[in-house]
Structure 1
Amino acid sequence: MTPTFGSRAHFTEEGGAAVYAAVCAACHMPDGRGASGAGSYPALARNPDLATAAYPIAVVLLGQKAMPSFAETLSNQQIAEVIGYLRTHLGNNYTGDVTAAEIAAARVSKN
């Protein structure tokens, strides 16, 4: 899937699976196993770091190591949906919804 940008360089995909496929899968692989080569991209499949939503929220908003921040290119809703997708797919079975309001609050606390 080719990522699509809307106005002001924002991704336009809707839904966690679509955001993952367009934004995350190129590095973390479609099946979430991660990859090594020119860089190291951690596995998201069966990842215990996704058990609580706070960690992936921080990583998506702030970036980490080679991963850039997506705070400017993904909306609160898109971030909530992709984190929810990651926590319930790819061999992960973590409970608890992630909401756009949580992402908005995290944005404020990170600034």
Structure 2
Amino acid sequence: MSNTHSSRGLSAAALLLAGLCSLPALAAPATGTATEVMAIPTAEVAALQAGFSDSRQINTQRGGDKIYQAICQGCHMPQGQGSKGAGFYPALAGNTKLAAGAYPVGVVMNGLHGMPSFAARLKDEQVAEVVNYVRTHFGNQFTDAVKADDVKLFRK
């Protein structure tokens, strides 16, 4: 077994059972150091950092698409298709619950089931932007826009 996998604390048996690699891959030598393999070009790092605030409490992205990419798509997937596995993340694509703008605003502001509240991390304008984005994309055609003033009603 290669030290590549064991140095990361993963046994060959665990990797094989998880289906993450094949036996020949375990025997293959690693190419490059961990630093080289994990390196991200400086320009890409700068582009990623530009969209985030210095405070971990506040997201600074603007525009529903950017907010969705930064916060939502990790669970709800890039095309809003949702996922099942370690948890259940409902599909936003074609979701009739989004017809009433108050519903997604309430979910974003207060959380629901396993989804956390984003009230402390997003300003009213940002919540309106991402809700409007989701309601008009992924096959959804709910065009009655939510406004920042509508979101204020959900602040505790």
Per the TM superposition, whether the score is higher than 0.5 is yes
Quick one: which of 13, 23, 26 aligns to 2:71? 23
Give the Cα–Cα distance (whole angstroms) in 1 for the partners of residues 115 and 149 of structure 2: 23
| 1:28-107 equivalences in 2 (<5 Å) | 28-107=76-155
Give ranges in structure 1 of 5+ residues lacking alignment: none
Bigger CA radius of gyration = 2
- Which AA in structure 2 matches 1:81? E
**Cα 1:105–1:90 shift into 2, 3 Å:** same
Q: Match for 1:56: what amino acid?
A: P
Change over 3 Å in CA distance of 1:49–1:9 after alignment to 2: same
Cα RMSD of the aligned pairs, angstroms, is 1.6
Greater length-normalized contact order (CA 8 Å, ≥ 6 residues apart):
1
| Corresponding residue SS for 1:18 | helix
Counterpart of 2:153, as a letter, is A
| Alpha-carbon distance in structure 2 between the residues aligned to 1:63 and 1:71 | 9
Residues 77, 99 of structure 1: 8 Å contact kept: yes
The one-letter amino acid of 2:141's match is N
Which one-letter code corresponds to 1:30 in the other structure?
Answer: P
User: Equivalents in 1 of 2:124, 2:153: separation in Å?
Assistant: 10
Offset at residue 59 of structure 1 (A) = 0.4
Superposition TM-score, scaled by structure 1 size: 0.91
**Count of residues in correspondence between the two structures:** 108
- Shift in Å at residue 9 of structure 1? 1.6
Q: Secondary structure at the match of 1:7?
A: coil
Runs of 4+, deviation exceeding 4 Å: none
Shift of 1:105: 1.9
- Matched residues, percent identical? 47
Q: 1:29 to 1:8 in 2, by over 3 A?
A: closer
* Aligned counterparts of 2:138 and 2:120: Cα–Cα separation in 1: 26
Cα separation, 1, equivalents of 2:153 and 2:54: 24
Q: Is the 8 A contact 1:6 1:12 kept in 2?
A: no
